[in-house]
Amino acid sequence: MRSAMSREVKLKTLPGDVYTHQVDLDTTVEKLKAMLLEHKTKDPIERKILRVELLQDCSIMVDDAQDLGKTGLLEAEAVVTVIYKRNEVEAATQAEVHTQGLFHLNIPPDLTAISGRAFQDCTKLVSVTITKSVTIGNYAFFCCFSLARITLGDSVKHIGENAFANCASLESITLGDSVTHIGDNAFRNCTSLASITLGDSVTHIGDNAFRNCVSLASITLGESVTRIGKYAFEGCNMLQIFGQDYVQ
């Protein structure tokens, strides 16, 4: 039974689907947007880079604080158009990123190297996808505090010094089977990093590579690892290392 304090709002997506959503009378436009974002995806990282725009009579509704009842959207014939937008950019350097909000980064497929400090201090970056064979330069993503997810293609071979150091939101990363070298301090102070999978091609893990990754519980070394540098796992107090013996 519907509450006397609730109404149905009619929603239409751009593909033309129409459905209804139950809301309280004091629901604001902002609250409705949050509900629709939750409906779109359960992935917390995706929710960070998706945003919802609501159109009323072909005009964008900008007053997020307004109650839905005052917008007229709870009237019987009213229909609001829902637009989902992903804040996604393709760029080779931070200078090419023109956005004020949290965003996902795609590295251009024709790029062969991400230069040193290319995205250093890019604090709005939430996730990055690198699909082609590139070298990740020193300090490339240094201090990207919001960076939570990295997807590396199987062709990435080299991760430079301090490449992802101080990325405090980074939770997990899977290194492709082509990565051979993890530079000094590459993931130092990634305090949220809980798991990492190393491909069989990794031979070198640099000094302090995972130092102070306090959430890191386990790591499996591939058969090709021949050297782990000094203090590579210093401060990883919960860490268990699995795999073959290595040379310290």
- Same domain flag for 72 and 135: no
- Same domain flag for 97 and 54: no
Instruction: Assign 210 to helix, strand or coil.
Output: coil
56 in a structural domain: yes
- Same domain flag for 107 and 227: yes
Final residue before a domain boundary, out of 56, 86, 116: 86
Please provide the size of the chain in residues. Answer: 248
Final residue before a domain boundary, out of 63, 86, 109: 86
> CB atoms < 10 A from the CB of 234, how many?
15
Per-residue pLDDT, 81? 93
What total of structural domains would you count in the chain?
Answer: 2
Per-residue pLDDT, 245? 57
- Same domain flag for 92 and 80: no
CA distance 172 to 46: 15
- Same domain flag for 82 and 92: no
Q: How far is CA 33 from CA 51, 69, 106, 140, in A?
A: 8, 15, 26, 34
**Tens of each residue's pLDDT in the chain, 248 residues:** 455 578 899 999 888 889 898 999 889 999 999 999 998 899 999 999 999 999 988 888 878 999 988 888 888 888 999 999 999 999 999 999 998 899 999 999 899 999 999 999 999 999 999 988 889 999 999 999 999 999 887 778 899 999 999 999 998 787 777 889 999 999 999 999 988 877 788 999 999 999 999 999 888 787 888 899 999 999 998 888 777 554 44
64: left (phi over 0), alpha (psi -120 to 50) or beta: alpha
Exposed, middle or buried by CB within 10 Å (0-12, 13-18, 19+), for 86?
exposed
- Same domain flag for 48 and 169: no
* CATH code, 135: 3.80.10.10
- Same domain flag for 82 and 125: no
Beta strands at 135-136 and 113-114: parallel, antiparallel or unpaired: parallel
- Same domain flag for 92 and 82: no
* CATH code, 79: 3.10.20.90
Residue 178's identity, in one-letter code, is S
Q: Tell which residue, 219, 151, 222, has the closest CA to residue 232.
A: 219
> CB atoms < 10 A from the CB of 4, how many?
7
**Residue 132 CB contacts under 8 Å (≥ 6 apart), including other chains:** 107, 109, 110, 111, 112, 153, 155
Residue 133 is part of which domain span? 88-248
- Same domain flag for 63 and 14: yes
- Same domain flag for 51 and 62: yes
149 in a structural domain: yes
- Same domain flag for 65 and 108: no
1 in a structural domain: no
Final residue before a domain boundary, out of 86, 106, 137: 86
- Same domain flag for 100 and 141: yes
